[in-house]
Amino acid sequence: MNSDQEALEQTALERLDSMSTVPKLQGPIGRVIGWVDTCFLALAVMALIAIAATVLLQISSRLFLPFSISWTEELSRYLFIYMVALSVGVVLRQNRNISVELFHHLLGPRMKAAFQVLICLLTGVFAFLVLPYAWKYAQNGTWQTSPTLGISMLYIFFSTVVTFALLLVYSLLGCLEGIIAMCRSSASLQES
């Protein structure tokens, strides 16, 4: 891809998502975070592929076998839960969550960064408050097993802990990126 196409693509993305103009961390830390993002997204994609395979197995068994496989519906549900849990942090970091964008395009770079800090701070506080209760909820699954798969529900209920822990970590990261962007914006304003 040449530089003109990359510039056009970046402009189109900024028009679609005005909050994407808040810069992400760069350097070695940014590369490590990018690698972690890729790992979580790869796990979520693997869960999605496993869901598709499980549902196809269920459909095939209903059509071509004299019996229906009973555990496929339950497994696809658990895979969906973990797919969401593993991708929630990356979705927050990339500003791909559902939001109403009435005024984002009117904000300057510094205010967009401040808005990101506010949203990430509220999300982080919520995740911090809910995380202990998510752990208690997960512990309820230690004496329960799933109906057809027979696995401990601790592993399924633990998805809530994963969800809120990732939201907490990624919201702190979003706050840091927003604060750095605000400082850089104010430094560039003072220089000019």
Q: When comparing pLDDT for 110 and 164, which is higher?
A: 164
State which residues form the domain around 95. 25-191
* pLDDT score recorded for residue 183: 86
On whether residue 18 sits in a domain, the answer given is no
On whether residue 97 sits in a domain, the answer given is yes
> Could you read off the pLDDT of 107-157 as tens digits, one per residue?
788 888 888 899 999 999 999 999 999 999 999 988 899 999 999 999 999
On whether residue 5 sits in a domain, the answer given is no
Per the structure, how many domains does the chain have?
1
On whether residue 8 sits in a domain, the answer given is no
Mean pLDDT of 50-61: 94
User: 66: which residues sit within 8 A by CB, 6+ positions away?
Assistant: none
Residue 75 scores a pLDDT above 50: yes
- Half-sphere exposure of 76 toward its Cβ, with a 13 Å CA cutoff? 15
* pLDDT score recorded for residue 15: 61
Residue 175 scores a pLDDT above 70: yes
On whether residue 16 sits in a domain, the answer given is no
On whether residue 15 sits in a domain, the answer given is no
Q: Which of 17-26, 54-63, 100-109 has the highest mean pLDDT?
A: 54-63
* φ, ψ (nearest 5 deg) of residue 98: -70, 130
* pLDDT score recorded for residue 8: 77
Q: What is the mean pLDDT of the chain?
A: 87
On whether residue 106 sits in a domain, the answer given is yes
